[in-house]
Amino acid sequence: MNAVQSRRLTQEVADTYQRALTGGAFYLVAWLIVGIHGGAFERAPVTSWLLALAFAGLALARFLHRPLHEGDAAACVRWLYVHWTIVVLATLVWGLLFCWALLDDGFQGARTAALLSTLGLATAVAHAFSMRRGFALTGIAMLYGPSLVLLWPRPADRAIALVMLVYLVYVLISLVRSHAEYQQRLNLDQELRDQRDLFAEQSKIDPLTELANRRHFSGVLALAATRALRSGEPLTLLVLDLDHFKKINDTHGHAIGDACLIAIAGRLDNAFNCDGELPARLGGEEFGVVLGGQDLETAAERAERFREDLYRHPIALEGIVLAMTASIGIAQFDKARHRDVDELYSAADRAVYRAKAEGRNRVCRDEPVQVQAPADS
């Protein structure tokens, strides 16, 4: 079962619980009205009070059987079966009670109330519990079935049976419509949730290169630093700046420049795609990579391989071959030197400046020396 189905089940559990909360009390109230005005508590006090206790207990069970805070799809299905059993038991007890009211002449003054209660409860089941047609039909059958079987063979009660059948058609149509409306609501909720998730995902992605954007990169770097402080594992940051990229835009146009950035992003994504790694576009022709769990030496080796591959394999775009190089700076998080991730980023950035100052197309490690960046980057 996929995540969408699991979410729908979770929503159904919540809706079923909320809709069932108030319904149980109406069975008790309806029985007290019918029982008191029908003299049942005087003629059969034990049975009458047992029925009242049964309705009260089933209403309490609806309240106590709370939805799961966390659970998989199978747990949700089990919860629904248990809760629906509670609901259907109440309808069955009422259906049998209504038969008693029809058979016992002592209920003569309360039969209309019993009939109206039965119709009202069936309507409530059709509307409130339309999320599961099978269960709702079972509940309606428990309310209606015994009394119809009892009334139909009796000519004096045939008119009541016909009225109940006509009303049953209305109840079933209402159930079908309510079920369709509920499913449409779930579908709309899912569409809204999908749009929200899409917007949330898009807020993390650079629209040109489809790498992580700077905002998402900063959040991941901060979380990685927190884990590194807690676990003691190394955390290394790689910052890459393309050399002389402005000349590409000036010579070939921004469309080629954008295509070049996309190609570089694809190479970064292929080179740094292990767990704990996140390549990102930081802005313009600058990229960064979070390397969780990797020390400075390992990161330097991988950065050198990437630089060498970029240098030896030019980028071909629309018949244009572009020889690209990059200046790369790397820094490992050190809580003694870096108070926060901003200082870690500054250290890697300084290493990039030094790589450019030393001739570009090279990897430089973090050193506590700040070099002024050349004018032409």
If DSSP codes are grouped into helix, strand and coil, which group holds residue 371? coil
Q: Which two tokens stand for residue 36?
A: 């008191």
Tell me the pLDDT band of 372, cut-offs 50, 70 and 90: low
Q: Which two tokens stand for residue 208?
A: 């040109």
- Which run of H or of E encompasses 332? strand 326-332
**How many CB atoms neighbour CB 154 within 10 A?**
11
pLDDT in tens, 334-366: 988 888 899 999 999 999 999 999 999 999 998
Residue ranges per domain, the chain? 3-199, 214-365
pLDDT in tens, 32-46: 999 999 999 999 999
CA-nearest of 96, 61, 99, 95 to 79 is 61
Q: Which two tokens stand for residue 152?
A: 């139909």
Whole-angstrom Cα distance, residue 12 to residue 9? Answer: 5
- Please say if the pLDDT value at position 235 is more than 70: yes
How many CA atoms within 13 Å lie on the side-chain side of 13? 24
- Please say if the pLDDT value at position 6 is more than 90: no
CA-nearest of 289, 373, 360 to 331 is 289
CA distances from 181 to 22, 123, 127, 131, 313 (A): 21, 16, 10, 9, 59
Whole-angstrom Cα distance, residue 235 to residue 290? Answer: 8
Specify the amino acid at residue 358: E
Instruction: Please state the rounded mean pLDDT for residues 3-29.
Output: 89
Instruction: Please state the rounded mean pLDDT for residues 135-158.
Output: 92
pLDDT in tens, 92-111: 999 999 999 999 999 998 99
Whole-prediction pTM: 0.61
Tell me the pLDDT band of 156, cut-offs 50, 70 and 90: confident
Tell me the average pLDDT of the chain. Answer: 90
Selected catalytic residue, list 12, 277, 285, 286: 285
Instruction: Please state the rounded mean pLDDT for residues 312-331.
Output: 92
pLDDT in tens, 180-233: 999 998 888 888 887 877 776 667 899 999 999 999 999 999 999 988 888 889
CATH top-level class for 214-365?
Answer: alpha beta
pLDDT of 368: 59
Q: Which two tokens stand for residue 221?
A: 């770097």
> Would you call 308 a catalytic residue per the annotation?
no
Tell me the pLDDT band of 4, cut-offs 50, 70 and 90: confident
Tell me the pLDDT band of 376, cut-offs 50, 70 and 90: low
pLDDT of 371: 46
- Which run of H or of E encompasses 107? none
pLDDT of 186: 87
